[in-house]
A = this chain, B = another copy of it.
Amino acid sequence: MTTLLGVPEVVIDRLPVYARMLAILESQGRQVVSSQELGDELGVTPAQIRKDLSYFGRFGKQGRGYNVQHLTGELRRILGLDQEWTMVLVGVGNLGRAILSYRGFAPEGFKIIAAFDTHSDTVGRTLGGIRVYNVKNLPQFLKNSPADIGIVAVNAVAAQEVADILVGCGIKGLLNYAPVALRVPDGTQLKDIEPVLALQSMTYYLKGTSP
């Protein structure tokens, strides 16, 4: 699958990994890094890194490596990580609570602004600093406070309906934790955070290694 700009999706998926490693190197005071070193750290070939980056311009000089600070900044700009993104969470069960207490979103510029559920014992509470509203109020909430991304953390049965509501309210990106293949219109971004699918492609390689 290729985007309009001709950059394959798998390349886009690798850029945040590069950006993260570069940020670590930058925090260690490193000024220059070679594609060889970067590849060694990440377990990919230097050729892969050079090819991936070549879609976006020329970042390094032959034999001199990449300027760490410059490349980090460029990748963050390319990926849209130089701005804040707002999110709403739908589904505040065990998984939703783990998501609300997850401290990895905010430092990266992803901000949950509200959560939604149907259960009367959850609605009205504040969990992890986030207010939980009745899911009935989701359209009105998004009308007043538009958000970029919707997190689907309901069960498999309710997931498609929740996705439809979010898309209908103008949400352009869905992070799906439910174990179903959601259907979304063209132009809506969907990422699945789904342990079973990940496991099921892992077992292909594990066959025959069973203890």
Instruction: Give the distance in Å from the alpha carbon of A95 to the alpha carbon of B97 in the complex.
Output: 8
Instruction: Give the distance in Å from the alpha carbon of A3 to the alpha carbon of B156 in the complex.
Output: 32
Q: Is the pair B191, A16 in contact by a Cβ cutoff of 8 Å?
A: no
Please tell me which stretch of A27-35, A60-68, A131-139, A173-181 contacts chain B, meaning at least 4 of its Cβ atoms lie within 8 angstroms of it: A173-181
Interface: A110 (CB within 8 A) = yes
Q: Is the pair B95, A200 in contact by a Cβ cutoff of 8 Å?
A: no
Q: Is the pair B101, A195 in contact by a Cβ cutoff of 8 Å?
A: no
Instruction: Give the distance in Å from the alpha carbon of A182 to the alpha carbon of B211 in the complex.
Output: 23
Instruction: Give the distance in Å from the alpha carbon of A30 to the alpha carbon of B20 in the complex.
Output: 46
Interface: A168 (CB within 8 A) = no
Per-residue B-contact encoding for A151-184, CB less than 8 Å = 1, 0 else: 0000010000000000000101101000101010
Contacts of A21 in B (CB 8 A): 181
What is the distance, in angstroms, from A116's C-beta to the closest C-beta of chain B? 17
Nearest chain-B residue to A4 (Cβ)? B205
Instruction: Give the distance in Å from the alpha carbon of A79 to the alpha carbon of B17 in the complex.
Output: 27
Interface: A140 (CB within 8 A) = no
Q: Is the pair A196, B17 in contact by a Cβ cutoff of 8 Å?
A: no
What is the distance, in angstroms, from A80's C-beta to the closest C-beta of chain B? 4
Q: Is the pair A200, B98 in contact by a Cβ cutoff of 8 Å?
A: no
Contacts of A80 in B (CB 8 A): 203-204, 206-207
Which residues of A from 49 to 93 have beta carbons under 8 Å from B? Answer: 78-81, 83, 85
